[in-house]
Amino acid sequence: MDTPARLLLVRHGVTDWNRERRWQGHTDIPLNDEGRAQAGKVAERLKDEGITALYTSDLQRAAETADTIGRALGVDAVRTTAFREISLGELEGTAPSPDTHRGEAVSETARNGGPLAPGAEAFETLEARLVEGYRAICDAHAGETVGIVSHGGALRTLIAHLVGIAPTHIDRMSLKRNTCVSEIDFRLGHPQLTLINCGRHLDDGTSAPPRA
C-alpha cells in the first residue's frame, strides 16, 4: 500500500469543557476564544510544512481548528466522521475521577474489550474507522504531506496503530496540549513517530496547558 510522505497530526483547540475537565467524546462542543487563538497560532506554524491536503473530524472543535489552518495554507479542510473522538456514551459531559474511572478512556476501552459505558463506542469500532480514514488518505495522497485535525484519544489510537504500540498502552502517550502537533514520517519505507505533543507555537506565555 502506498503511503503519504508525512502525516502531521493536530489536536483541536481548547474548549470550555476541556477547561472544566469534562469528557467530550461525540458531544459537539465549540472552541472557546482561547481555542480560536490557538488555532491561529498552529496555522501560522504549519504554513511552511508543505501540507497539500487537510482532513478533519467533523465535530466543530476540530473542524473550526482545521478551517483556520486551511485558510492559512490555502487548502480546503475535508470533514469526515472517520477522525471523530471515541464516543463515551453516558460518560459524556462528566468529569473523570478516581472513583469512576481507572486509566484513560481509550486504553480502558481496549482492556475491557467493549464499550466503557452504556452507549459508548468499542475500541475496535474506533480503531476501524480511524484506519479506514487513514487508508483513504493513502489512496488519494501517496507521497504527499497531509494534515489531520482530530482529538486526543483518536490521534493516540491512530499513532499506536501505525507504529505498533499495544492499544492497552495508549495512555502512556500524552497529547494533552490543545493544538499540539505530532508527526509520522514514512519516507524510510515504514512509519516513524518523529514528533509528539509539540506545542512550541503556544510557548509565548499566553496559552496555559490544560489540566486534562
Q: Among the options 26, 34, 64, 85, which is catalytic?
A: 85
Phi and psi dihedrals of 111, rounded to 5?
-65, -40
Sorted by sequence, the CB contacts under 8 Å of residue 91 that are 6+ apart come out as 23, 25, 105, 116, 117, 120
CB atoms within 10 A of CB 63: 21
26 is catalytic: no
Is the Cβ–Cβ distance between 75 and 54 less than 8 Å? yes
64 is catalytic: no
Alpha carbon distance 9, 193 (integer Å): 11
Show which residues are catalytic: 12, 85
